[in-house]
Structure 1
């Protein structure tokens, strides 16, 4: 009986996933590319369901189809534990990941270990885990990660890359896994290790094992962060980074040097999990944008379609130039998060001027960087 009860969450999620049409034919496996050119399309299931009118070269086209058409080969998807509206929950993520794989794209699964957003400023513990002891919390990370991956496999949506936590600069699963001082890494490391171990155990027997990622926002202190984890036995396959010039520095030469030092000291692949740049400083709705000032720009890259394209091309070029071919690629964050609720929305997008669609929902020139 105990084993049956433990299996119920997995069975319930599988049933939810199967509400949409499971493909009649298996998803054909594809060889993993040596360099990723990806996009985080976590908003796409909601936007496509709302029939948002994205266009590319004058024709209606979903962001997934546009990414594929322009040479992209990776879709990144965030996963929330128990989201209040179901978006970014496991059923939605598994179904969309399957669509991406049917299109011949690889999938990066970004497990947040939270019910909503996580980043350096917030790492809330899922409601279902909030009263757990530290030991039980570790067990939950391991068991949950394995269940998620089993559901993904069952839905023919197995990811190529699995991210254990999102921008975990200050730890994860606060307050128990919070990092406020060097001593706190002793509490973060076992939580990350449980996630890594779950992926390793699910890799048993796979011809294409899933690679693990630990994700840090920025680059300046990345060496210290990953060294602190390595000293405690945390060794992901790939080092994930975010780079937003307004937060992480506007000197691309300095940014490249930080990455070079990281590669030289760790001898590991680096994936830029998140980046973005504006094509405008304007607004398309009444929601405050996270970037809207000229002082937030890199001087040589204007907030224009051409400037956005030049930025993404340059970031791509610098990643490819990292020593030993350790630049694994990039993911553009939320190219689809447009102002879809209308111009007067106060609960719309805070990102529409950094999307890869203009305010008329037309694909912008920066999509061409995915073929470079």
Structure 2
């Protein structure tokens, strides 16, 4: 016989965003060590702790960590990524490493060749193979093998501009470079899952167009990767705002009213039906408080911690209707000082500016 309390608990459990079948509940908290070095601290329910440990305690089991080609730790160097990755693995998390193949932010409009790399296609093919292979080996050698590896970040327009820029040289140079990167991974590890990461995952026509053209005989093929990694963000207006902190320039982020659940569902279903690959939403967020001046949210959800939970829950519902959906990653939930995360909404974090977790931290939980 069910008591009221048991029934109430079951209802709450059913309402939690990740209380379903997805394998990975992730967070990209790449800024954490830089934040700690600047003196920022965190608390959960009044108890102080490391933010990555707080995330793990609240259900996060996948750490997404960006790595730039810079040798400066404040600019997400390999050494920085190795340190953060070791902490994540020690907390029981899997690793999704996000390679930007640049000394700075890489996105659809910016994919600068690293300053120390060559600038011709043949040499870049050799460089990206060697760099990727060495990086995978470095993580394995420290006892923290990579689970998922993004070969590029938001590569809709290409990588290593202008050589691998689609609008300049077509798809073939990009296809070759991706094949070289993937070959570097495969030679170093038989277990790393290779991720192709595109922006605007809700835009089905753009997704299919990219994949229809990127596969070229003798270059990049469907066997060269395992996971389609996508981002879907919540607001419109094509914002292009830059923010600075003590570490680096914050990259522009772009949004659209088309980023709805229904558009995402249609786009992902087409990709799964066409290519049979696994799917992961590797970047998303939602405003917790404040304002979204000049911005139209893509779903009719509140600007609140409840809205954050509902946004992730809706994405989870979409993914659970797909074969091969792996999980969702919340982007930079603790980046105090960059609360807007590049959007027109003033606060998208899961913590207050004092570092205390918000009620929405439970969106990672799979039980209570």
Using structure 2 for the length normalisation, give the TM-score. 0.81
Residues 145-194 of structure 1: CA deviation (Å, up to 9, x unaligned): 1111121112222210011000000000001000117x711110000001
2:175 aligned residue:
189
**Quick check: 1:153 aligned with 2:140?**
yes
- 1:105, distance to aligned residue in structure 2 (A): 0.4
Alignment check: 8 A CA contact 2:282 2:328 kept = yes
> How far apart are 1:203 and its partner, in Å?
1.4
Report what 2:12 is aligned to: none
Unaligned runs of 5+ in 2: 1-20, 236-254
1:1-372 correspondence to structure 2 within 5 Å? 35-82=23-70, 84=72, 86-129=74-117, 131-180=118-167, 184-204=170-190, 209-219=191-201, 220=203, 221-232=206-217, 233-235=220-222, 236-246=225-235, 247-248=255-256, 249-282=258-291, 292-293=292-293, 295-322=295-322, 324=323, 326-339=324-337, 350=342, 353-372=347-366
Distance 1:64 1:337 in 2: 12
| Partner SS, residue 335 of structure 2 | coil
**Distance (Å, rounded) in 2 between the aligned partners of 1:127 and 1:276:** 32
CA contact (8 A) 1:53 1:60 kept: yes
Superposed displacement of residue 43, structure 1: 0.3
Tell me the distance in 1 between the aligned counterparts of 2:120 and 2:295: 46
Return the alpha-carbon distance in structure 2 between the equivalents of residues 109 and 258 of structure 1: 24
- How far apart are 1:223 and its partner, in Å? 1.7
Which runs of no fewer than 5 residues in structure 1 stay unpaired? 1-32, 283-291
Question: SS at 1:281's partner residue?
Answer: strand
2:103 is paired with a residue whose SS is coil
Root-mean-square deviation over aligned CA pairs = 2.1
8 Å CA contact retained: 1:165, 1:214? yes
- Residue 299 of structure 1 deviates from its aligned partner by 4.2
Instruction: Indicate the structure whose relative CO is greater, using CA pairs within 8 Å and at least 6 residues apart.
Output: 2
Paired positions, count: 317
Distance of aligned partners of 1:358 and 1:296 in 2 relative to their CA distance in 1, 3 Å threshold: farther
CA distance in 2, matches of 1:154, 1:65: 23
Q: TM-score, normalised by structure 1?
A: 0.80
Determine helix, strand or coil for the equivalent of 1:180: helix
Equivalent residues of 1:83, 1:116 under 8 A apart: no
Distance 1:256 1:336 in 2: 28
- CA distance in 1 between counterparts of 2:52 and 2:46 reads 16
Q: CA deviation at 1:67?
A: 1.4
Q: What's the offset of the Cα at 1:218?
A: 1.0
**Which deviates more, 214-223 or 243-252?**
243-252
Q: Is the 8 A contact 1:46 1:87 kept in 2?
A: no
After superposition, the C-alpha distances for 1:203-246 in whole angstroms (9 at most, x for unaligned) are: 15xxxx01000100012111221222234533210011011122
- What SS is found at the alignment partner of 2:197? strand
